[in-house]
Each structure stands twice: as C-alpha cells, then as structure tokens.
Structure 1
Amino acid sequence: MRPRPLFIENPEHDRYVSLVPDGDIEEILNKQQAKTLTLLGSVSEELASKTYAPGKWTLKEVIGHMTDSERVMSYRILAIARNEIAPLPAMDQDQYVSAANFNKLSWEQLLAGLDTVRSNTLSLISIIDEAAWVRKGTVMNSPVSVGTIVYGIVGHELHHMKVISDKYL
C-alpha cells in the first residue's frame, strides 16, 4: 500500500489531498473511476451541454477539464518519478477549457476520454517504486512529491464530482 503524504508541501495541494479517504490509493482510484463513470453515464447529451449558472462551465467542459487536469498531473508524476530537475509549468484551466472546444464533442467521447486517462494513470502509478513515490519536483515554483500529486488527482475529482452532484444533477 502506498503511504499517504505526511507533509503537503503547498497549501493549494492540501485542499484536494485532504478530501481523500484513508485506504489503498490505487484501489481508491479504481473505485472512483467506476463510480464516476456510472454516475455520469446516465447524463443526457442535453444536460451535459448546460451550465448551472451564467458564466459557469457546461458539464462537458467540467469533464473535459477533469480529463485535461489528470493528463497534466500524470505527466508531472512521470517527470518527477524520472528525476526531472526542470521546474514544471502551471496549467491555466480557463485557457485550456476555452481552447479545447469540449462542447463540440459528444458526451460519449468525453466520458471515454476520462475513462482512458484514468486507466493510463493507474498503469503509470503501478510502476512507480517507493523511492519515486516520495521524490519531489517543482511545479508552479513549489516543491511537490509524486504521492501528493496522486492524492491530488483523487481529491480533484472528488471536488468536481461534488460540484456536479450539487449543481448539475
């Protein structure tokens, strides 16, 4: 079982890591994937194309954002695990969403993308050894460990799924 990060290097990361329950992180990631896809699989194309308030993202954009964020975080895991010493860049979520045109994609395509990205994340995590799990790199001018990023992936999805449940469904 992978250890939970004992020290969160940046308070920004803690807002997501603190949402993650105790337990085997790979099992949590697997269960989260199934739960999220089951819940979102019942959403209609029409509902997926709506916002809950003016100026907010559509549900399609939220899922696209979740997918892009996990892609970026998985890259960060890989880079840090492989001893990358160069600082890794930030991700401007609004810029990514506006450039992606998620609303032109079908709901089915977006869910398939989310599923594939999580499967790839799980594959990557399964080959990370203990030394790499605690290794730190620099993201957004702040140190962060591989383990913190993995827990951040789970917490980021938990955060957005709560927003989806509360505001969209």
Structure 2
Amino acid sequence: MTYTQGTKVELLDPDELSKHVRAVVHQALPWLQALTEASASRPEKTGKWCAKEVIGHLTDSAINNHARVMRLQIEVTPNLSGYEQVAWVSLQHYADSDWGRLLGIWATLNEHFASAVSHIDKARLANRGNVEGDELTLAFLIEDYIAHMEHHLRALDVWAR
C-alpha cells in the first residue's frame, strides 16, 4: 500500500525531508505521551491494534525503511523485501510493552532515520529499487514512509484522545 503520490525528485531536498520526519515525531510526542498506559493498551475496536501496537509497527517501519534507504544509496536497483508486519507486531508483544519506553524507542529511531536522510546526496534521491516488485525511487520511499507514519498517527489521534 502506498500513502503518497510522490513529488518530482528534483523538487525534493534531503534536509527538508529530514525536517519533515522530525516535525511529525515532535508534533505527535506530546499527545502520545499524555496517553495513559491503560488507554495505550486498549484497541480501538476488537481485532484492531492498540496504540502500543501501532507505535510498535511504526518502530518496525522505521527499522525496515532505514535499511532500505541505506541499500538504495549503495546498491544498483536493489530488490528490497517487505516484512510481515502483523507477525512482527505479534512476536514482539508490543501490547505488553511499557508505553513510555516504546515511545522513546520510536522517537529515537526516527531521529536516527531523519539524520540518515539529511546526509543523502541530493542526486541519489533518484536512485531506483524494487520493493516487493514495485519500482520506486529513494525519494518516493522516504516520502511514503513519512505519509505512512502520518496516516497511522492521524488514526491514533482520532480514537485515542
């Protein structure tokens, strides 16, 4: 699933993309930190993830997309795998995690991701690769990662407050 249409590569700047990642996290942290352990543990609906699992999923996404960003700068047209998102969340028992600790991990990983993005040579934003058979640019991957994070945070904000 894609979350953005993507901007023309030549219009993007790694520093601005990096600032966008940081802004998303810094805007979300205050209201996420205000959630109690109990409310962060309660799913929106039966069969849906709780806030802890959503943030865990976003943590896994940060890890996987950081690796993709690195590989798209090093390899020529790499074939990048997806990951079993539901299994990752389940196997890591995010629902049982400490909420504050989980938020800290998520924020730190995104700070690391943003730092990596800020050091990308602008010319490399056009580098191409494949994720599960879909061709994309490094620029699109970063934009889509940000949009994916915003998508989940908007959904959390609606029901968690």
TM-score using structure 1 length: 0.84
**Match among 77, 82, 86 for residue 69 of structure 2:** 77
Instruction: Give the total of aligned pairs.
Output: 155
Deviation at 1:134, TM superposition (A): 1.0
1:49 aligns with 2:36: no
- Provide the residue aligned with 1:64 in structure 2: 56
8 Å CA contact 1:49, 1:58 repeated in 2: yes
The equivalences for 1:117-128 within 5 A come to 117-128=109-120
- Deviation per CA, 1:4-43, whole angstroms, max 9, x where unpaired? xxxxxxxx32xx22499x9832222221111111120111
Q: Which runs of 5+ in 2 are unaligned?
A: none
8 Å CA contact 1:51, 1:59 repeated in 2: yes
Deviating runs (4+, > 4 A) in structure 1? none
Q: Which runs of 5+ in 1 are unaligned?
A: 1-11
The equivalences for 1:1-169 within 5 A come to 12-13=1-2, 16-18=3-5, 24-169=16-161
8 Å CA contact 2:59, 2:105 repeated in 1: yes
8 Å CA contact 2:18, 2:115 repeated in 1: no
Deviates more, 1:107-116 or 1:23-32: 23-32
Deviation at 1:93, TM superposition (A): 1.2
Give % identity. Answer: 24
8 Å CA contact 2:77, 2:127 repeated in 1: no
SS at match of 1:128: coil
Using the alignment, how far apart are the partners of 2:107 and 2:41 within structure 1? 19
Using the alignment, how far apart are the partners of 1:161 and 1:124 within structure 2? 22
